[in-house]
Chains A and B, each alone.
Chain A
């Protein structure tokens, strides 16, 4: 890259400063102050001036030093090396992660906080894997995935409270109900693709939330549902003292009672559920149906020419993706003990979709890395309080600049000659 002319660098910097100015005036320049005489607006143009001049001189320095274009490719080659891991090595990475996950509750620093965060990460890993079937494999852009999560959560909550069904009975029912909703969403959107599909699925997600919010007799409305039964260990509750006729978990194993037991149990439960989702997807990719999902993502017309009926393929992707969302929802309900429509807002769908896109559409291990990133980074940034989301947003922008195709863009073929599994 040749020498940059100062005039050109100056123009670039001025342009960047102008954009910063336009953004900063409404975002930083005005502030609502809750004073004695009600709300008033205060201006902070000095902040704007500082910010804009920082952008101007920063941009000027980058343009003049000419490092702008060299910086990104360097990072890119690191990413390329990451994504071109041979199949064996990426399988090794997956295995190492699984072993790490299995051992996590046993390591000394794994206190209650660590395990709780790990459970949250695993919920999102599972949701990411579920949505990966719809978005990553079948290529159907779904912005309302949280609806199925909500269906699963409310299924468990309502069935266990009203009918006393156990978690293990409710789990498949929640999955089936979510799958049924998946088909319900799938039918009207069969002909839609891309942006149009995204809009309809977005609407669907909001509809489910608003129904839950307003149908008070059924769902408790905005108050949600509380005191949802917590999970027990196959009939043995995690309690300090047993109700008459019952044996508690700690009595069963002759342990000292500890509230950690339930948390560790929940951790392994979601780990198993998430791994089931993963194994299911890996298996599906080798079967004709899973292969047809991927083919549909690539080229719908070619699919039809090969005798693949897109209707069945799309509906099955919606149904199966939704089913795992439903499982995760049931788990969420039993973990929290309380659910309300607030937990199922659009931002949840956006986060799950971001996990899939950031991970590299269709990549299973990418979902794990992205979920860990998206859940853990805001956690670590808690110390920065109100700047947390700004830093988080900046990190996302940088990653997408660095690797627009996602963290793990490598796709390993589902079959090899001779050794087909």
Chain B
């Protein structure tokens, strides 16, 4: 790769009090890629995603986005830099309508783009257009996940961080959500960093992947390489292709 990566995490350590959750993680995400970060429960996947966003802050190491050090940038500034996230547990606003959720996604953006961005999200997730007036908390898990991703897209991000988009969804819906993520990456030219427990789907979707074990990167490679790796098959894919 000749161009500098869009996002570069360099030897980052994160502590929760005395507990070291990340023990020196390095990874790169290049413009236009889908990168999957897989690992077991408690490996530190979500912590890494949150550390990139600045909450919790990295206790060591450096995070560089588009040539700028963002290690100390507070969470609420990230959107203006072009980094949007669909946080762990979706965190939609349950008592507010779907449309209001999407409007809040556009909070930091230019109001002039609102109509176009809304049309774009509704094209990707026609379901959200049907439900625009409904209270978000009354929708199904899959629809809430669509809303969480759609809300993140409303800020026109260059880099989209997704935390476990498949969590708690039926297999058919998982396939649908992942197809949409691919669509977002291809036709909307959004770079995606994805955290997943569902290693099979994530690695099939991703250009490249990293395997996180106990707060360190154990393996990395292209999605196909990792899928073919016997260790990965044993550790993360043994339970079938769900």
Residue of A291, A298, A303 near B95 (CB, 8 A) is A298
Q: How far is the CA of A417 from the CA of B77 in the complex (A)?
A: 29
Question: A89 an interface residue at 8 Å Cβ cutoff?
Answer: no
Q: A316 to nearest B CB, angstroms?
A: 14
Q: Could you tell me the distance between the alpha carbons of A373 and B105 in the complex, rounded to whole angstroms?
A: 39
Q: How close is B7's CB to chain A, nearest CB, in angstroms?
A: 16
Q: Mark A286-304, 1 if CB is under 8 A from B, else 0.
A: 0010011011001101111
- Per-position 1/0 for B106-138, Cβ under 8 A of A: 011001000000000000000001001100000
B78, B80, B95, B151 — most chain A CB neighbours (10 Å): B95
User: Is the pair B99, A417 in contact by a Cβ cutoff of 8 Å?
Assistant: yes
A200 to B133: give the CA distance in the assembly, Å: 38
Which chain A positions have C-beta within 8 A of B181?
none
Q: Which of A307, A309, A413 contacts B96 (CB 8 A)?
A: A413
Known: A307-B107, A309-B76, A413-B100. A301 touches B133 (CB 8 A): no
Choose one: A294, A299, A307; the contact of B76 (CB below 8 Å). A307
Number of A positions contacting B (CB below 8 A):
23
In the bound complex, residues from chain A placing their C-beta under 8 Å from that of B76 are 303-305, 307-310
Contact code string B134-164 (vs A, CB < 8 Å = 1, else 0): 0000000000000000010001000000000
Partner of A291, one of B55, B92, B104: B104
A42 CB → nearest B CB, Å: 54
Residue numbers in A under 8 Å from B111 (CB-CB)? 288
Known: A295-B93, A299-B93, A416-B133. A306 touches B104 (CB 8 A): yes
**Which residues on A sit within 8 Å (CB–CB) of B151?**
306
Given the interface pairs A299-B93, A302-B87, A302-B92, the reply to whether A415 lies near B80 with Cβ below 8 Å is: no
Smallest Cβ distance from A312 to chain B, in angstroms?
Answer: 10
With A291-B103, A295-B96, A415-B99 given, is the CB distance from A301 to B91 under 8 Å? yes
Contact between chains at B132 and A417 (CB < 8 Å): yes
From residue B18, how far is it (CB to closest CB) to chain A in Å?
23
Q: Are B78 and A307 in contact (CB under 8 A)?
A: yes
A305 CA to B78 CA in the complex, in Å? 8
Closest-by-CB residue of B relative to A308 is B107
Flag whether A411 is at the interface (Cβ < 8 A). Answer: yes
A305→B107 contact, CB < 8 A? no
| Docked-complex contact A305 and B85, CB < 8 angstroms | yes
What are 25 A-B pairs at a CB distance below 8 A?
A291-B96, A291-B103, A292-B104, A294-B93, A295-B93, A295-B104, A298-B96, A301-B55, A301-B91, A302-B93, A304-B55, A304-B76, A305-B79, A306-B107, A306-B108, A306-B151, A306-B155, A307-B78, A307-B108, A308-B76, A308-B107, A413-B97, A413-B99, A416-B133, A417-B99
Residues of chain B touching chain A, judged by Cβ–Cβ distance below 8 Å, are 53, 55, 74-80, 85, 87, 91-97, 99-100, 103-105, 107-108, 111, 129, 132-133, 151, 155
Other than A415-B99, A416-B99, A416-B132, give 19 A-B pairs with Cβ distance below 8 A. Answer: A288-B107, A288-B111, A291-B103, A294-B95, A295-B93, A295-B104, A298-B96, A299-B93, A302-B93, A305-B76, A305-B85, A306-B79, A306-B105, A306-B108, A307-B77, A413-B96, A413-B133, A417-B99, A417-B132
